[in-house]
Structures are given as C-alpha cells and as structure tokens.
Amino acid sequence: MERYTNSREDLVIQVTENKLCATMTIKRESGVVEQNEILDLLNKAGITNGFISSIDQEGEKLINKPFKIAEVKTIDKEIAIELYYKNEEIYYPKTPLNEANIFRLVYVQKGSPIGKLSFDEDMLSRKDVYGNYLISLKGRDSIIDKYKGANISFNLDTMEYLADMSGYLSSDSDGKYNIVNNLTIKQDINRNYGNIYILGNLKIIGEVSDVRHIRVLGTLTIEGNVTESNLYAEQGILIKGIIENCNGGGITSPKNIECQEIRQSKVFAGGELIINGSVLNSRAVGESAVIVAEEADVVASELHSSRHIKVGNVKNSNTANSNLEISVSPYTKEQLMVFTRELVYFTDNDSGSDKIPVIRQEIKDLEEILSKKVEEAIELDNNNALLIETTKQIDKGVRVKILKDYIVVSDDSFHNKKIINLK
C-alpha cells in the first residue's frame, strides 16, 4: 500500500496495492480543511482517475477514519480464447495419424481465423486510479502470446488469431495454438496402424511394413525400411532404408525419390530416382534420371528414364536379364497404365461410381502430356541429350535401348561407356 501526506501530516492518502482504490484520512482535530490542500495532496499522490463524487459517498466523513476518494472496478472476467473449432478437430503431438483420425482434423487455409480473444469490451481501455491502463501494452501482448504459437498471427482490429500458412491446427503442451504442415510419426507402421493420408509433409521415424496406402500431398520421409507397402507423395520421397517387396502400387512420386536400396519392388519417380545401393529384381523409373551408386549392383532389373541412366555393375540372374532403357516419358506411361487399370476395374465392378469421370479426365490429361513429350523427343538434335552411362561392367545378355534402337550386350567387355547414340 502506498501512502502520501501533506506537510502537517494531518491529511493522508493511501492507495491499495492493486492501485484500484484510494482513501483519504483527515486527522485534523480542529480547523477547516481547504480544497486546495486536498488538491495539492492528490497532485502529490498522482491520482487522476476513478474519483468518487461526494454525493455518492455513504455516511459522514469522520476524523481519523479513512473514506474512499477514488475507486476503479477490477477486471472480473478472465481473458480466454474462443476457438472456432472443436477439440477433436485439433492435432495434438500424440494424436495417431491413421485414417480413422486424420479426416477429423481440421486443415486451415492461410489467412483463415481460428479463434478470438474473449473479454469485456472496455477491458483494454480501463485504467487504475493513477490513470495507467490495467492491462498495459506489454500485458496485452503477453495475453495474446499466451495462445499464439508457430505460424499464427493476431489481428488487433478483430481480436482474432489468424493462420499465417495452410496447415493442420494443433495445440502444444504449453497451450499455444500452431499451424503445422510437418507431421511426424515416431513408431513402426504396419497394417494394424491403418492407411495414412496427409495434406502436408510427413516424417516416419521407424519401419513401414504391410501398409496398403500412405498418401502425402507434401514430402514423405521414412527413416527406416519399407516392405510390402504402397507409398505416394506429391512433392518427393526420401527413404533412408531399403525398399523391399513393394510390388502392388509400389513407391511413386511426381517429383524426386531417393532411397538406400531396392529389392523386388516397383519405384516410379517423375523427377530423379537416386539409389544409394543396389537394385535387385526390380522395376525402377526416373523420368529425368536414374542414378545408381557407382559401387552398387543392378541385378535382373529394369531401369527406365527419358534422359539419363547412370549405373555401376549391371548383372543378370539365372532367370532374368537386366534392361536399361531410355524412352519417351516412362513415368507418364506408368501412370497411364495405373489409371487405365482403375477405369477397367470400376467399369466392370461399379459402373455408377463417381470416380469414373475423374479417372477418365486423369487419363485424358496424361495422354496430352505424353503427346507433348513425344513431340519434344522428335525435336531432339540426334538425341544427344539422351545418355546411358556405365561406370563398371555390364554382363552379357543385358539389353540396352535408346528410343527405337537397342543392342544386347554380346560379351563381358562392355564397361565404362557413355552411350548417347546406338546407331
């Protein structure tokens, strides 16, 4: 409590610790207390707000008994956020990202409001008896920051929290709200976990096995091995382990794919396909390039690109030979085959499905892309932009093809070559 007195110390003003109330005590036993004396003391105390009219005073002012001279109402309503979404629509760090949960989570578009601060209308303009705001700018900012996490901004005009980017609305352990586009699963994933569909980016810290579908509209990173699973990521795939027995839909991305090794699998990249180890009994497509580690082996496998294939050792097995081929847009051809099979399935089994016109449009778009790619290939000057590069040795019987021209390796001396024209 703060205390102020006049020079004679017979007038006393006291202000409560919360600065919401001031009282005066008159200790003068005789004589009149002049108005200027009171004004001087008020000026000394610095009280400028919340004065109580003498008309509003209750009872008679008594000597040596304090009476109120100023009072301000306290803030009795807690400031909180009124969120525009339900609790089950919010992503929490431990929320499973399987099919059953992910479709309940809200994906917020950039610029969308997610909630509003709830408070009395005059709360931010209310002042104490000294004329200072009850909620200072610093205090106001701390209240705003209480709920504002990553990729969230605040509009002072509407008192709303806004998404600074598109992503999932999440809440962290501090009670802050965030917009996240990078989701992480820290466990092994299998069929029991279920299918996964993510609108942003996904990282899986663990193994992936026996999963029917993982579809990501951003990038997909997997820090373990992938077996018997179907993966698709719109913006690229990085697998730090081995791809094995992925022969259904396989591993597909319109962008780049990088992995450690490929075994008995199908991998289709619309950009570069980079393999840091061997390729065994597999079909691998990299639209712009297929690059295999120099010391690694390609065994009984098919490598396809529209531009560039670079390999180390290329070998055959007892039952199958390897094939290196540069052709017109192999990735687009693979996608045409996929959608054509889907169209046949739905036409035969569910002719009324609303997916049929969507698939037909996809096929039409892919056919137009392939047509343009064919025109581009025709215009190439002597096909000098097409390259198959071997850094080690190719076994006898391996088929090497560039567009319409091909050769079958006839002896084991075919090594360390750059092939740009088979004519």
pLDDT in tens, 155-201: 988 889 999 999 999 999 888 999 999 999 999 999 999 999 999 99
What are the tokens at 182?
């990078």
pLDDT in tens, 277-295: 999 999 999 999 999 999 9
Where is average pLDDT lowest: 81-90, 134-143, 252-261? 134-143
Report percent pLDDT > 90 for the chain: 56
pLDDT in tens, 92-124: 988 899 988 899 999 999 999 999 987 665 666
CA–chain centroid gap for 68, Å, is 57
Q: Taking all residues of the chain, what is their mean pLDDT, rounded to a whole number?
A: 88
CA distances from residue 184 to 169, 199, 201, 386 in whole angstroms, order as listed: 15, 13, 9, 39
Beta carbons within 8 Å of 143's beta carbon, 6+ residues apart: 79, 117, 135
The pLDDT of residue 8:
87
**Global pTM?**
0.76
Task: Spell out the domain ranges in the chain.
Answer: 2-71, 80-180, 183-327+382-419, 333-379
pLDDT in tens, 213-231: 999 999 999 999 999 999 9
The pLDDT of residue 206:
96
The pLDDT of residue 351:
80
Where is average pLDDT lowest: 26-35, 231-240, 262-271, 408-417? 408-417
CA–chain centroid gap for 134, Å, is 38
The pLDDT of residue 302:
97
Handedness of CA 47, 49, 55, 57 (dihedral sign): negative
pLDDT confidence band for 371 (50 / 70 / 90): confident
